[in-house]
Structure 1
């Protein structure tokens, strides 16, 4: 583990949406750092399969099945941390609603975009904070924003607005929780080549990864000329959780291959 962020081994982390995509990469990275990880995911099938695989690798991973918008499920997830594990002092909020609509969006579609991304974020964060001491908590939270939180995109009104709310939530909670020793930051990834994006590019656009990354309107939008792998987002999340980032709070870290620079 030489060269990896310090201060994570032996700690307990909660990762929402931690069974798939970026969430799975975060769970894998934190496990490699020596963390015990509670995966809060609404998909029982994906969750059990992923957790079983990690346990076979000797990782300390616990699955809590539940929706982040369900307050009772969130409370149960934190109450169900295995006996003998330290209280959670690390939180990664990844669960979100993926709804891409413009002004035509219905109230139901707005709820589908905002409820997991913002309401769920608040419920999980509140429950996490409730389990921490009033002072010197030595805790850290990382929220998942997006490059879409920073820009305008046609047909993305619901998604971009919900992710912009994550930035506001991050700054406000960083201010509120700093006196308790709790740091709060966010990351803003660009396009990540996960299962959902691969399916979209292949089935909707008819493009494999290499072709998509070579296209000016896809991979060409990024200075690095390609998409990110999930592990490339998990690494800066681990950094922001670690003692290496002890003087960073209220910040958003673009993990976007240079997209927002131009």
Structure 2
């Protein structure tokens, strides 16, 4: 992975932040995309750059604002560097029954989790096609595979991501670009804070390993999929859920 260049969205927290750390340790240069500036993140990434001798460039844009997103991607393109890997990690979650859900909120969720991802892939894949190489990894969710009460909005958006992944794998595979998805189960991130203690206990019981997943366990899978060790894996949806 040393010397390769990667774009990571949602890079400032949760799985995204661990992805930045893990790929930096692997010697990868990173465009870390996020919505707003954070002084603590800037200090953290500067230390990563020093320790691992890589560059980590911060790119700020709002996933739901097309103009903002386009400006952010243009900033990356203007550097005229090869883009080897794209990890679409940014996303939002909600747990709410349909009777308690505003359709406007569902639209915002789809804009963030699906349409913005599609927009980014469309732009980046064109460059990868010209390069005749590239790896795209989309962050799905087990919610896009397992229907559950309260997950109609979030699960539907992630199901769309998983289907998109497999379609794009067939479209882009012949052009030298691999497209795969990771479908995490419940992971110890900020998103999990929407559950109460009893619900968290139930989520742990549903896993064969009787625990929640860790962000590092998702990032390790992404690192494998991005590497040449996964050179014949395309169109895969890899569940990382502890065996639910």
**Distance in 2 separating the partners of 1:133 and 1:161:** 29
2:124 aligns with 128
2:35 is aligned, of 37, 42, 59, to 42
Aligned to 1:3: none
Q: Specify the SS of the correspondent of 2:76.
A: coil
Q: CA deviation at 1:152?
A: 1.2
Give, in whole Å, the separation in 2 of the partners of 1:90 and 1:119: 19
Q: Does 1:118 align with 2:114?
A: yes
1:250 and 1:206 map into 2 onto residues whose CA distance is: 36
1:78 to partner: Cα distance: 2.8
1:85 is displaced (CA, Å) by: 7.5
**Residue in 1 aligned with 2:73?**
78
- Provide the TM-score with structure 1 as the length reference: 0.84
Check 1:157–1:10 CA distance in 2 against 1; reply closer, same or farther (3 A cut): same
Secondary structure of 1:126's aligned partner: helix
Hey, which of these two has a bigger chunk of helix by percent? 2
- The alpha carbon displacement at 1:88 in A equals 1.4
In the alignment, is the contact (CA less than 8 A) between 1:145 and 1:163 conserved in 2?
yes
TM (norm. structure 2) is: 0.90
Unaligned runs of 5+ in 2: none
**Aligned equivalent of 2:44:** 53
Judged with a 3 Å threshold, the aligned counterparts in structure 2 of structure 1 residues 239 and 51 are, in CA distance, closer, same or farther, namely farther
Give the whole-Å Cα distance in 2 for the aligned partners of 1:235 and 1:145: 15
User: CA offset at residue 94 of structure 1?
Assistant: 1.0
Matches of 1:32 and 1:82 in 2, distance apart?
24
Answer whether contact 2:189 2:215 (CA < 8 A) is retained. Answer: yes
Q: Structure 1 residues 10, 86: closer, same or farther in 2, change over 3 A?
A: farther
188-197 or 236-245, larger mean C-alpha shift: 188-197
Superposed displacement of residue 76, structure 1? 2.4
1:157-168 mapped onto 2 (5 Å cutoff): 157-168=152-163
SS in structure 2 opposite 1:80?
A: helix
3-state SS in 2 of match to 1:166 = helix
Q: Determine the structure 2 residue equivalent to 1:137.
A: 132
Count of paired positions: 239
Contact 2:138–2:180 (Cα < 8 Å) also in 1: yes
From the superposition, tell whether residues 64 and 177 of structure 1 become closer, same or farther in structure 2 (CA, over 3 Å): same
- Whether 1:172 and 2:167 are equivalent positions in the alignment is yes
Please report how far the alpha carbon of residue 83 of structure 1 lies from its aligned counterpart in structure 2 after TM superposition.
Answer: 7.8
Give the one of 189, 193, 197 matched to 1:205. Answer: 197
Q: Is the 8 A contact 1:68 1:116 kept in 2?
A: yes
Are the counterparts in 2 of residues 90 and 140 from structure 1 also a CA contact under 8 Å? Answer: yes
What 5-or-longer segments of structure 1 have no aligned partner? 1-7
Q: CA RMSD in A?
A: 2.1
Pairing 1:1-262 to 2, within 5 Å after superposition? 8-45=1-38, 48-57=39-48, 58=50, 59-81=54-76, 86-104=81-99, 105-134=101-130, 137-197=132-192, 199-201=193-195, 204-205=196-197, 212=200, 215=201, 217-259=202-244
Residues 22-70 of structure 1 show CA distances to partners (whole Å, capped at 9, x for unaligned) of 011111111111111111111323xx43233121232421111111233
**SS class of match (1:10):** coil
CA distance in structure 1 between the partners assigned to 2:116 and 2:40 by the alignment: 24
